[in-house]
Structure 1
């Protein structure tokens, strides 16, 4: 078997086209996942992985066109990583933008009472909440002053002072 090194590393699609395609797909997927779908996930489940795989597969052709070489894949991946870094930097530098890009903590429990309306916003069941509370070694809601779902999906618990 003879490897054709020039075919593996040659660029057959315009690098600018790869950057534009990568940029367009990144912005579209960013808006879908961070702005439209604001669901915060505490842990990644099988359905979440399935959605990511399907989205990645569906986005591949729109993003990549007919690229064939490793070099073109490097350009495309670098474009996506650069946009991700830029958005993170922008949300750090421009605090008003942070409220759009990263949801504020959502109150789930106040003075030992579950806030059902906020639970419904996140499609979180009582059993899921209680499971997360057990991770904090809490078995009774009366121990809790406040509990929040953070933007990364983690639950923060503030216990009542004894």
Structure 2
């Protein structure tokens, strides 16, 4: 239970590699993966965690090995949060920026498709904002995957 089958530094390297590769994969996969999960998205995240478990521990079943990997993952997450907070360039690279989906009641269909949003998701955001299409000033896909709709200001 406490006897590790690998050297401690190998757990650190494995944890760092898996963390950085998965971070890159999540950034490439788009905002929907990070934002509101559909049941399919949740399933993918659960399967991702299972698929990399052996890569993290190299088959080691020890408590110490698991704790080392957990500490590496938490430390890397804290490092990324620190870098995001102190560098606008890193923040943009790690978290992304908002994307303009439409304005003045008109949606940019090509942008919506590129962001892999469905019409139902856009319509749901409009309902949540209690906004009719002709009342919409701007619609954004936020970096966290949420759609923000801003109404026109009344004169």
TM-score by length of 1: 0.87
Matching residue within 55, 60, 78 for 1:62: 55
Superposition deviation, residue 66 in structure 1: 2.3
Q: Which residue of structure 2 aligns with residue 149 of structure 1?
A: 141
Q: CA RMSD in A?
A: 1.5
Q: Secondary structure at the match of 1:108?
A: strand
Task: Show the counterpart of 2:123.
Answer: 130
The 1-side partners of 2:107 and 2:97 are apart by 18
The structure with the larger Rg is: 1
Segments of 4+ moved more than 4 angstroms: none
Q: Does 1:40 align with 2:32?
A: yes
SS of 1:40's equivalent in the other structure is: helix
Residue matched to 1:3: none
1:16: Cα distance to partner? 1.0
Report how many residues are paired: 153
Q: Deviations over 1:55-97 (max 9, x none)?
A: 1122111111122222221111111111111112112211112
Q: What's the CA shift for 1:158?
A: 1.5
**Aligned mates of 1:130, 1:67 — CA distance in 2:** 48
Mapped contact 2:31–2:144 kept (Cα < 8 A): no
The 2-side partners of 1:68 and 1:59 are apart by 14
Give the Cα separation in 1 of the matches to 2:90 and 2:44.
Answer: 27
Q: Which runs of 5 or more residues in structure 1 are unaligned?
A: 1-6
Is 1:103 aligned with 2:96?
A: yes
